[in-house]
Structure 1
């Protein structure tokens, strides 16, 4: 399976993306603003090809295990990012909740010049088992690309 994040719009401090698995749209993603120079916990992931892994040792695992129960086997982490650590696909609605991580959503809004995603938990519940399966496989690649002009 092939996972792709395609960025489609940028707000003042936010970036809106589409998540695809095998070419099929899954949900929206929200990240921080794309920046030439990284600002810790305020910068979108660089374009490129990376790996998805299952992280079962980070602090968010306890929170998500309590939230999701047996379904949660670990956070879906985008690994091998230059100058980024512990980048998870997770639940949240605004760029203030990303800390450099993509947030899931079934809808989006543009409010005061920034994007927000909606129905984040529902989107995460739907996409998590798919991403978990991919992260546990040998075909655990994810690509990130921009599809708009800055």
Structure 2
């Protein structure tokens, strides 16, 4: 099973993407912008193919368990990104909430030269449930693309 993050638009501080699971559009994604020199917590994930895994440590994991006790099995972490640690798929609406991670939403709007996701909780619960089901059966990878020209 294959998750694809296809970057489609660049804002001043945000990168908008479409997220597909087995070639079906599931939701939209939002990250920071690409940078030639990484700024921790403010740089998007480098294009590439990465394994997904569960991270069951840390405060974010506890917060999500408190909010979604029947759904939450651990934070979905995008693993082994060179120079990056603790990169999660999570809830949020603007680049200010990414901290270098991938936010998800059911829609988006453009405002003041940047992108904002809408219905993030709905998208998270939908994508999370699908990914957990697949990850319990075997390895799942995400392919992150460059911004299309």
TM-score, normalising length from structure 2?
Answer: 0.96
User: Is 1:20 matched up with 2:35?
Assistant: no
2:61 is the alignment partner of 1:57? no
**Residue equivalent to 2:81:** 81
Unaligned runs of 5+ in 1: none
Distance in 2 of aligned mates of 1:88 and 1:110: 24
Partners of 2:130 and 2:94 lie apart in 1 by 23
Q: Are the aligned partners of 1:4 and 1:142 in contact in 2 as well (CA < 8 Å)?
A: yes
Contact 1:76 1:135 in 2 (8 A): no
Q: How large is the Cα RMSD of the aligned pairs?
A: 1.0
Give the drift of 1:137: 3.8
Alpha-carbon shift at residue 147 of structure 1 (Å):
4.3
After TM superposition, the structure 1 = structure 2 runs for residues 1-150 of structure 1, keeping only pairs within 5 Å, are 1-149=1-149
Count of residues paired in the alignment: 149
| Contact 2:52/2:139 (<8 A) preserved | no
Point out where structure 2 has 5 or more consecutive residues left out of the alignment: none
The 8 Å contact of residues 106 and 120 in structure 1, kept in 2 or not, is answered as yes
Other structure's SS at 2:83 match: coil
Q: 4+ residue stretches of structure 1 with deviation over 4 A? A: none
SS of structure 1 residue aligned to 2:51: strand
Q: TM-score, normalization: structure 1?
A: 0.95
